[in-house]
Structure 1
Amino acid sequence: MTTAPTSRAGRNLPAAIGVGVGLGAMLILVLAYVPDVWYVVVSVAIAVATWEVGKRMRDGGFDIALIPLLLGGQAIIWSSWPWGVEGAFVAFAVTVLVMMVWKLFAQGLAEAPTHYVRDLSLSILVLAWLPMLAMFAADMVRQSDGNFRVFTMVIVVVCSDVGGYAAGVLFGKHPMAPAISPKKSWEGLVGSLVVGTVGAVCCSLFLLGTAWWVGVALGPLMVIVATVGDLVESQVKRDLGIKDMGSLLPGHGGIMDRLDSLLPSSLVSWGILTLLV
C-alpha cells in the first residue's frame, strides 16, 4: 500500500493542498459577493478554535473557563458590528469579570477553588489571543473597501508562508528557534520577508489603490508578527506535549493551527491600513 507524500513537516501534501484550495475558494466567494458573511466565518472559526484550545488545555490539566470563553468570544466579535472596537473592548472586560466569578465558584460555595490564579490567567490569555485578535479581522470588513483589506491581510500571510517554506526547503541551514520550532530557519524568514513584502506592495497598488510604500510598511511588519504568532502556538503545543491543536483539517491539523499566523496579523493589518489608507 502506498502512502501519501508528505512535506518536511510531516504533513500529507495532497490533503493539505486540497484543503488550502477549498478554504481559499470559500474566502474569495464570501468576500467578493457577500462580505457581511465574513462576520459569520470569523465567529464560527473562533468558536471552533476556542473549543480546540480549551480541550487541549483541559487534557493537559488546566481547567480554563471554557463556557464563558465560548460565549464571551462571540460577544466580543459581534459587539464590534454595531459598536466597533469600543464595543468589543467592553465585551472583553465583561467576559473577564464573568470568568473571575465563574472560576471563583466553579467548585461550589463550600469549597475553595484550586489553581484559581493559574486557570483564570490562562482563560484571559486565551480570550485575548483568539476572539480579541480575531475581532480586528472581522471589523476590518466594515471599513471602506473592507473586503479588499481582508484580502490583503490573507494574501500577505499566504505569501509569507509560501516564501518561508520555499526558502527554507531550498536554502535553510541556520535554525532560527530550534528549541521552539526546529523547522524554521533564518533563510526561511528572509524568504518570507521578500515574498510577503512583494505581496503587500502588489495588494496596495492593485487591490487598495494606494501608494506602493504602504505595502513596504505593511509587509515586513506582518511577516514578523505572523512568524511570531506561529512560534507562540508552537511553544504552547510544546508545553502541552501535542503536535496539532485539532484534526478537523486534513494535512493542516485543527482550525487553530491555521489561525496562529492570521490572528496577530489581523491586528497589525487593521492598524496599518486604518492609519495609512
Structure 2
Amino acid sequence: MTEPASSEAVPVVSRGGRNLPVAIAVGLALLAAVGGSLYFRKEVFIVFALLAIGAALWELSHAFARRGVHIPLLPLWVGTAGMLISTYTAGSEALMVSFILTVAGLVVWRVVDGGGTAAVRDAAAGIFAAAYLPLMAGFVMLMLAADNGREQVLLFILLAVASDVGGYFAGVRFGRHPLAPTVSPKKSWEGLAGSFVLALAVGLVGSVFVLQINPAIGLTLGFLTPLTATLGDLAESMIKRDLELKDMGTLLPGHGGVLDRLDSMLLTAPFVYLLFSVAPNVAT
C-alpha cells in the first residue's frame, strides 16, 4: 500500500545547492533596495552600505570566534562609519587616514581589554577585517562622490551581479571542469566563461547607455570584473573552508550571509574605481 503524498511544499533546490526561487526573490529585492537608495539620495545609499558592511563584519566576527579569535566589533563599526562617510566627503586621503585611525583604535582597544598573545591575534584579525571590508567599500564611496557617481556605482554593482549570475547559471548548466577544486569544488571553467559573457554584455551596454563613455572602457570592465570577482569569491571560500563553514551567515535566505554576497564586490571595487579614474571621457 503506497503512502499518501505529503501536502508540505518541497523547496525547489538547484544543482548549485540553493533554493532558487527564494534566492531570485531576495536578489531582486536587494537590487531594488540598492537602486532605490542610490537614486533617492546618495546619503541613503551610504546608510545602506554602512548597514551591509556592519552586518558582514558581524558575520565575520562570529565565524572567527569558531577558532577562538575575537574581533573587536565596536571599534570596527565606529571605524567603518568614519571611513565610509569621510571618504565620500573628503576623498581618497580621508580613506587612508581613517583606515590608519581605525587600525590604531583596534589595537588600543584590544590591548586595554587585556594583553598577551590573544590580544595580538585578535588585533591582527581586526586589522584584516578592516582592510577586507570597510577599506574596500571605501572605493565605492569614491565612485559615488564623482559627478556621475550614481551611474558609476550602478554599473559597478550590475557588473558584479552579472559576473555572479552568469557564472552560477553557466556553471550549473554546463560545468564539467573544476576551476579550483580544493578551494571551491562547485566552481568551474565553464562557469567562469559564463561570467565573462554576461559581464562583457553588461559592460558594453552600461558604458553606452548608462555612463555614455567609450564602449572599449565598458568591455575592459566586463573583462576585468569576472577576474577580480572570482578571486574575491575564492578568497572567501578559502576562509570558509578553513573555518568549516558552508556560508558566512543566514541573514539572506537563498544566498547565505551578507558577506557571501559582498565577497565578489569587495576585491572588484578598487579596480573599477581605478579604471574610472584613469580612463578618458568618463564624465558624462
Letter in 2 for 1:103: R
Query: Which residue in the other structure is 2:264 paired with?
Result: 261
Query: Which residue in the other structure is 2:174 paired with?
Result: 171
Query: Which residue in the other structure is 1:93 paired with?
Result: 100
Q: Which runs of 5+ in 1 are unaligned?
A: none
Match of 2:91, SS state, is helix
Cα separation, partners in 2 of 1:170 and 1:12, compared to 1, 3 Å: closer
Query: Which residue in the other structure is 1:272 paired with?
Result: 275
What CA RMSD, in Å, does the superposition of the two structures yield over aligned residues?
1.4
For 1:99 and 1:257, how far apart are their aligned partners in 2? Answer: 24
Letter in 1 for 2:166: G
TM-score, structure 2 as length reference: 0.92
Letter in 2 for 1:154: I
For 2:21 and 2:169, how far apart are their aligned partners in 1? Answer: 17
Q: Which moved more, 1:208-217 or 1:118-127?
A: 118-127
Q: 2:230 aligns with which of 214, 218, 227?
A: 227
**C-alpha displacement of 1:202:** 1.0
**C-alpha displacement of 1:30:** 1.9
Deviations 1:45-67 (A, max 9, x none): 11111111112212331122222
Equivalent pair of 1:180/1:231 in contact (CA under 8 Å): yes
For 1:34 and 1:75, how far apart are their aligned partners in 2? Answer: 19
**Residues paired across the two proteins, number:** 273
Query: Matches of residues 31-42 of structure 1 in structure 2 within 5 Å?
Result: 31-42=38-49
- Identical-residue share of aligned pairs (%): 41
**C-alpha displacement of 1:44:** 1.2
Q: Which runs of 5+ in 2 are unaligned?
A: 1-7
Query: Which residue in the other structure is 1:215 paired with?
Result: 218
Say whether 1:246 aligns with 2:249. Answer: yes
Query: Which residue in the other structure is 2:147 paired with?
Result: 144
For 2:257 and 2:67, how far apart are their aligned partners in 1? Answer: 17
Letter in 2 for 1:28: G
For 1:166 and 1:44, how far apart are their aligned partners in 2? Answer: 29
Query: Matches of residues 59-138 of structure 1 in structure 2 within 5 Å?
Result: 59-107=66-114, 112-138=115-141
**C-alpha displacement of 1:260:** 0.6
Letter in 1 for 2:211: L
Query: Which residue in the other structure is 2:3 paired with?
Result: none
For 2:152 and 2:183, how far apart are their aligned partners in 1? Answer: 32
Q: 1:158 aligns with which of 156, 161, 179?
A: 161
